[in-house]
Structure 1
Amino acid sequence: MNEPLQQGAANVVQVQSMAKAGRRPRLGEQERFMLFLIAPAAVFLLLFQVLPIVIGANASFRDWSLNNPQKTWIGLSHYVAVLTDSTFLTVVLPNTFVFMAGTVVLSLLTGLGLALALNRSFAGRRIVQTTLMLPLMVAPVIAAIMVRWMFNDQFGIVNVVIEALGFESQPWLTQRWTAFAIILLTDVWLWSPWFALLLLAGLQSLPREPFEAALIDAASPWRIFWHLTLPMLRPVILVCIVIRSIDAFRTFDIVWTLTGGGPARQTELFSLYAYQLAFTFLNFGRGSAAAIIGGIIILCVGLSLYRLLDRLGASEVKS
């Protein structure tokens, strides 16, 4: 009888000691080494990402004018002013969403076509791949400067060619929709190789057995693409669309260099709107409020896109 009692008491003591040890966990050498490795990145993220967001969020609730920084607490006044601004609602947001949808769709289609072409074996494929990747090596500001000179209404090469063909030259960058189209096409030219690179990597990672079986069954190239290639490539396409949509929403450098938001703010996108509020009109509080609103919008858009595309993919797989 004493042995079971003693054994039970020993088990209780052991459980209590383990519970006490669990309250005061000690990091092993491996855990301390891992924390040491990630500490610089964590400090960098805290100083240059989290801290500026906190400062900007604090400024959005204050009367923070850069020429007279009183920093008086005014609550949601800046948010109300931005959300009731007719320029923001009727020009900036429509321009931003049209630009985002246009550049993502056109870049995706162009990149997918390039990836499908480059996935085949032909002479000089490596040279073609390298040539097509050149836009990725060009800074967006440099590309925008080149395009601006090309479409200059007085001595641009585009108008020179048009006049040589017997047509009248056009003021490309002084009209809303032509200027907007030039901004869009410039962005598509810059980002299509990015889509092509990721989609080509996805194509080369696909298993060959389903395609060989489809060829044995004499399936047409279109059916192979629609029923095999596209569904198997959907995860890569989904990631590309979400990442590029978020990045397109905050496009600034191309618009600033090509048109500066003109003519008459008609090509202004969201990033340019927030920048002008903060650094042109020197209203740092309202510019910060606009930036916070934009962050919330793009967060909602990114989550909605991810869920929508994921559901579409799941429904097609079930069918």
Structure 2
Amino acid sequence: MLLLIAPAAVVLVCFQIIPILVGMNASFRDWSLVNPLKTWVGLSQYVAVFTDPVFLKIVLPNTFILMVSSVSVSLVLGLGLASLLNKSFFGRPLVRTVILLPLTIAPVITATMIRWSFNDQFGVITTFLAYLGLPEVAWLSDRWPSFTLVILTDIWIWAPWFTIILLAALQGLPPEQFEAAKIDAATPWRTFIHVTLPMLRPVITVCVLIRSIDAFRTFDQVYILTGGGPARSTEVFSVYVYVQAFVNLDFGRGAAAAGAGAIIMLLVGVGLYRLVNRTMVRSR
């Protein structure tokens, strides 16, 4: 048994455990990529991160806005699409394939496509909106239009992920409860609220937790669409870590930012688990 898991364990240790330990060590040092001294500074790097106005006033709010809006809207869309696809209708296999297409495209390609489509000068969507006579919007030059594009791109990528998981969960629900609801003359909406949602609670909880953690560290879409601009106004946690470590060449500060994010996400994960559990219990 140990020989069977040894290859996976070696890969995990080399590419996960060791880098994490190196990063933890670097977060307690003045470790610049142009300065090999690596002086031990204790918690000063963490203090610098948590007192950085950019981190507190821009990065964290942007990160949580992206996480909450993307996860909540993707969950609602995914649940709605899964409920639709759980019913029999003509062309259902084709609709399933089309809905799941965003999952087959790399996020970098998706973000690049969105960036070109909303280009202020020659973007297809920008040109179409101008043709309709709508006012011009600086999609990639102002903070909120740019950040809205980031959120919509993230939703477009991840709503099918919720769809496929919730659809599998719906198809695995026992039919007895739904038959009892029909006998009691329950409306489709009451059946959905009082029968379907409570039985989907464990799956929804896991999906929300996994997706929230993943949304907290979103990098591809933000970096490709805005690069954190204009003027760092759309910068999120992962881009902040990247800028500190590989633009400012301050590996210690970047590692401390990553550690701070891990601590924040741990606390948020525990809170989300309790909140989702409590909400779903009340819906019974």
The two structures have a TM-score, normalised by structure 2, of 0.98
Contact 2:45 2:256 in 1 (8 A): yes
State whether structure 2 residue 105 is matched by structure 1 residue 146: no
For 2:129 and 2:271, the matched residues in 1 are separated by 43
For 1:316 and 1:224, the matched residues in 2 are separated by 12
Q: Which amino acid aligns with 2:2?
A: L
Give matches, 1:1-319, under 5 Å: 34-317=1-284
Give % identity: 61
Contact 2:79 2:166 in 1 (8 A): yes
Q: Which amino acid aligns with 2:39?
A: T
For each residue in 1:60-100, what CA deviation from the matched residue of structure 2 results, as whole angstroms up to 9, or x when unmatched? 11111111221111111111110100000000000000110
For each residue in 1:200-233, what CA deviation from the matched residue of structure 2 results, as whole angstroms up to 9, or x when unmatched? 0010000111111211222111111111011111
How many equivalent pairs are there? 284
For 1:129 and 1:316, the matched residues in 2 are separated by 29
Deviation at 1:169, TM superposition (A): 2.2
Deviation at 1:110, TM superposition (A): 0.5
For 1:313 and 1:256, the matched residues in 2 are separated by 35
Q: Secondary structure at the match of 1:173?
A: coil
Q: Which amino acid aligns with 1:133?
A: L
Q: Which amino acid aligns with 2:41?
A: I
For 1:311 and 1:106, the matched residues in 2 are separated by 20
Contact 1:63 1:69 in 2 (8 A): no
Deviation at 1:315, TM superposition (A): 4.9
Q: Secondary structure at the match of 2:140?
A: helix
For each residue in 1:176-218, what CA deviation from the matched residue of structure 2 results, as whole angstroms up to 9, or x when unmatched? 0110000000000000000000000010000111111211222
For 2:229 and 2:131, the matched residues in 1 are separated by 28
Contact 2:78 2:163 in 1 (8 A): yes
Contact 2:137 2:145 in 1 (8 A): no
For 1:271 and 1:311, the matched residues in 2 are separated by 30
Contact 1:115 1:200 in 2 (8 A): yes
The two structures have a TM-score, normalised by structure 1, of 0.87
Deviation at 1:58, TM superposition (A): 0.6
Q: Secondary structure at the match of 2:73?
A: helix
Judging changes above 3 Å, is the alpha-carbon distance between structure 1 residues 142 and 101 closer, same or farther for their aligned structure 2 residues? same
Judging changes above 3 Å, is the alpha-carbon distance between structure 1 residues 125 and 83 closer, same or farther for their aligned structure 2 residues? same
Deviation at 1:309, TM superposition (A): 2.0
For structure 1, the residue ranges without an aligned partner over 5 or more in a row are 1-33
Judging changes above 3 Å, is the alpha-carbon distance between structure 1 residues 145 and 316 closer, same or farther for their aligned structure 2 residues? closer
**Structure label with greater radius of gyration:** 1
Q: Which amino acid aligns with 2:120?
A: D
Deviation at 1:41, TM superposition (A): 1.4
For structure 2, the residue ranges without an aligned partner over 5 or more in a row are none
For 2:189 and 2:278, the matched residues in 1 are separated by 24
Deviation at 1:316, TM superposition (A): 4.9
Contact 2:194 2:283 in 1 (8 A): no
